[in-house]
Amino acid sequence: MEGPFDRRFLLKGAAGISMLAALPAFGRALPQGMVNVRDFGAKGDGSHIDSPAIDRAIAFAAERGGGTVYVPPGSYACYTIHLKSNITLWLDRGATLLAASVPLTGLANGGYDAAEPQDPAIAPYQDYGHNHWRNSLIHGEGLHDIAICGDGLIWGKGLSRGHPDKDRPAAELPGVGNKAIALKNCRNVALRDFSILEGGHFALLATGVDNLLIDNLTVDTNRDGFDIDCCRNVRVSNCTLNTPYDDAIVPKSSYALGYPRATENVTITNCHVSGSYVVGTLLDGTFRPLARNRDTWLLGRIKCGTESNGGFKNITISNCVFDQCWGLALETVDGAVMEDVTISNIAMRGCHSPALFLRLGRRMRGPAGAAVGSMRRVLIDNITCQSGSMLPSIIAGVAGHPVEDVQISNLFIDQPGGGDAAMAGINPPAKEEDYPDPDRFGPLPASGFFIRHARNVDLSHVEIRTRTADARPAFWLKHVEGFDGSYLKMPGAADAFRLENVTGFRSSAIRDLPDRRIDTTNMVRF
């Protein structure tokens, strides 16, 4: 049986919607299975609260077995809208679902649905926003065969960014919403073609959602873009996201469902992520640059993690552009297995962090008794990165738990350089239990790759270029079992390699260096 992924399903709805323009505005006979929210009392004037009318239209269609709920051009101020199974919410071009504002102090009555009560068995194991879904502009739980489509806009103007600040209320206050779209334990979900402006803490929080399609969305938001948590069979394609204050596309595997569940079978392709534009200027096409300051992270990256209780399996990221943002990150620090990850054809420009960050840690934010996780079978190919960061790419496990089976090929990194002899002599702290961001290690003693606690690492056709001289070795390896490097290019002003407690090292076809094989070494530099 075809689900909402089927284009015929969507095109049929589009054909029906095109018929609406020829019909009288109200009280008409609509195409079978379609309802207009204005026929249920929605005004679309930007001030009247239209969410009850939209809910009535959704309920009317659902009671008849499902259909398309049509939102015509207009600005529909809303609190929480409640999706139902077998419903497509179609936002026509010129239609805006506007998140209505609430007082900074919250509301005693009304406003957005209240967040779920904190479950003490779950709450300590992830950030507040990850285990609440009801306090959203659009909410669905336990649903199947649903879609949000069309060329309209979701504007989270009245949503909180998820924490108290001078501009937005705190997420936990009554009546306050902090997500544009929140879905929990749903299946067969399609999100297509619309735009999101200022989506709150999450433009999309999808938890326990299976068979999820996200296609051709444009997101210009003030915190996270897509958080894909404990989901299976996910396709994210042809999306453009500007998220300067947090991450853009983030597969996660938290404990929010009350048990560990892997995020698996995920494809992310043909996407553009950025952390560099003033929010709103991606959508209006002015692309005004955002200056970096204490409150502006210029993140905007694709990251697997940080929440990592259930695991990540079969993840593919390809044909993506990173624009003035942090680099790509793979992180498992709460006991999860991350395996079978392929990354290819990525162009990064204006990177504010390492191009690649592979981190296995032991933060262990989850129920007691879980073992340290693992990261293995990661293939990375065809990457170019123009970087403004002095940090090298990082592959870092922890003692007794190495990152394993990593192959990196056809990588070109252009970095500022400038590391001095003091930096070259640093032995960075392990930070095994810390939050897994690359800057938590502090300055690092390599210009190209910092590799610690790893096994079976293969680098080929990798070039590291620095714009100024750098006294650090290009490759710094410690506690590494099995390293193959071939056809490597690196700055010539410093050592190519520094090896400490390394076994099974081989290098070949490196310009100006003889081929080497080192079975074991406590310390060597060359």
Q: What is the 3-state secondary structure (H, E, C) of 462-518?
A: EEEEECCCCCCCCEEEEEEEEEEEEEEECCCCCCCEEEEEEEEEEEECCCCCCCEEE
Which DSSP state fits 94? T
Task: Assign 424 to helix, strand or coil.
Answer: helix
Q: With a cut of 50, say whether residue 5 has pLDDT above it.
A: no
Per cent of the chain over pLDDT 90 is 83
pLDDT tops 80 at residue 65: yes
The pLDDT tens digits for 341-354 are: 999 999 999 999 99
- Mapping DSSP to helix (H, G, I), strand (E, B) and coil, where does residue 11 land? helix
Instruction: Name the superfamily (CATH) of residues 1-311.
Output: Single-stranded right-handed beta-helix, Pectin lyase-like (2.160.20.10)
CA distance 80 to 112: 5
Please tell me the chain's helix, strand, coil percentages from 3-state DSSP, rounded to the nearest 5: 10, 45, 45
Residues 410 and 383: beta-carbon distance below 8 Å: yes
Q: Poorest-confidence range of 182-196, 285-299, 473-487?
A: 285-299
Beta-bridge partner residues of 289: 277
pTM score, two decimals?
0.92
By DSSP bridging, strand 67-71 and strand 87-91 are parallel
- Which of 125-129, 342-346, 353-357, 388-392 shows the lowest mean pLDDT across its residues? 125-129
Least confident stretch, 21-30, 124-133, 240-249, 288-297: 21-30
Task: Reply yes or no on whether the pLDDT at 10 is more than 50.
Answer: no
Q: How far is CA 187 from the centre of its chain?
A: 20
Q: What is the mean pLDDT of residues 297-302?
A: 89
How confident is the model over 176-200, as a mean pLDDT?
Answer: 97
pLDDT tens for 426-454 read 999 999 999 999 999 999 999 999 999 99
DSSP letter for each residue of 120-168 = TTTGGGS-GGGG--SSEEEEEES-EEEEEESS-EEE-TT---SS--SSS
**Residue 2 pLDDT exceeds 50:** no
pLDDT at 106: 73
Q: Taking the CA atoms of 416, 420, 425 and 430 in sequence, report the sign of the dihedral they define.
A: negative
DSSP state of 411: E
Q: Is residue 165 pLDDT above 60, yes or no?
A: no
- pLDDT score, position 163: 61
Beta bridge partners of 154: 97, 196
Tokens representing 440 are: 């938590």
pLDDT surpasses 80 at 132: yes
Say whether pLDDT at 170 is over 90: no
In angstroms, the Cα distances linking 462 to 25, 328, 359, 395, 414 are 62, 17, 20, 15, 11
**Once rounded to an integer, what is the mean pLDDT over residues 286-297?**
80
User: What does the pLDDT read at residue 107?
Assistant: 80
Rounded to the nearest integer, the mean pLDDT of the chain is 91
Residue 61 to residue 347: CA distance in whole angstroms:
45
Q: pLDDT-derived band of residue 24, with 50, 70 and 90 as boundaries?
A: very low
Percentage of the chain modeled with pLDDT above 70: 91
| pLDDT of 21 strictly over 90 | no
Query: Letter for the amino acid at 220?
Result: D
The long-range contacts involving 504-513, CB below 8 angstroms and separated by at least 24 positions, are 505/477, 505/480, 510/485, 510/486
